[in-house]
A and B are shown apart, each in its own frame.
Chain A
Amino acid sequence: GAVVSQHPSRVICKSGTSVKIECRSLDFQATTMFWYRQFPKQSLMLMATSNEGSKATYEQGVEKDKFLINHASLTLSTLTVTSAHPEDSSFYICSARPLVAGHSYEQYFGPGTRLTVT
């Protein structure tokens, strides 16, 4: 159980184009999904927190107009990188927190999407 999928796993796009990444919880409902970015040899950095049916909350320094997040259902969140630039090339990982009673801080991670902008 607790499987999260991401699509695509790898994408190469040209500078100036937009790329959409999907994150799905396959066997559970997720109240909250998180989007992270990881540069080589660095830790995961939280970009935004996405709650179903409401606007995402972005971390300081993350441009909300550049990284559009939509969380349309309890099993799907999307991240769209708009007008991509080479410096946006990174490993993008989503995670999902199960809809459970009480407190649970565990998150389940998707396999990640490697974005290369040329």
Chain B
Amino acid sequence: RKEVEQDPGPFNVPEGATVAFNCTYSNSASQSFFWYRQDCRKEPKLLMSVYSSGNEDGRFTAQLNRASQYISLLIRDSKLSDSATYLCVVNHGDYKLSFGAGTTVTVRA
């Protein structure tokens, strides 16, 4: 079983729509959680950390469910520039990051 699993998508949504997707992780001892964004053929960029109480950053909302071992990302009022692959990233406390394969989001005009 992979350490971090994501629905690959793609999620094709119109501008202004809300899109949400989850990721599951297998290691119950995981300590830190992140969403990264990766554009085609570029490096990943940190979108946001995910906190236990859930957190929001503008149009992006992240939730963590430790009991069920999943993390979610919700994007409100989608923009064309939100088109990217979103990587779910988990840390087990040893400073090494485990990456999901990514969820592709395409926002259309």
Binding site for B on A (CB under 8 A): 32, 34, 41-46, 49, 91, 93, 95, 97, 105-112, 114
Binding site for A on B (CB under 8 A): 4, 31-32, 34, 41-46, 49, 87, 91, 95-102
Residue with the greatest number of chain A CB neighbours at <10 A, chosen from B4, B87, B101 = B101
CA distance A45 to B4 in the complex (A): 12
CA distance A34 to B89 in the complex (A): 15
**Smallest Cβ distance from B20 to chain A, in angstroms?**
20
Interface residue from B41, B49, B87, B102 paired with A91 (Cβ < 8 Å): B41
Residue with the greatest number of chain B CB neighbours at <10 A, chosen from A45, A109, A111 = A109
Judge whether B49 and A44 touch: CB under 8 Å. Answer: no
- Assuming the contacts A91-B41, A114-B41, asked whether A106 and B46 have C-beta atoms less than 8 A apart, the reply is yes
**Smallest Cβ distance from A22 to chain B, in angstroms?**
15
Interface residue from B49, B95, B100 paired with A43 (Cβ < 8 Å): B100
Interface residue from A43, A91, A105, A108 paired with B99 (Cβ < 8 Å): A43
Q: Which residues of A contact B42 (CB under 8 A)?
A: 111-112
Judge whether A93 and B43 touch: CB under 8 Å. Answer: yes
- 23 A-B pairs (CB sep. < 8 Å): A41-B101, A42-B101, A43-B101, A44-B87, A46-B96, A49-B96, A91-B41, A93-B43, A95-B97, A105-B95, A105-B97, A106-B34, A106-B46, A107-B97, A108-B46, A109-B43, A109-B44, A109-B45, A110-B43, A111-B43, A112-B41, A112-B42, A112-B43
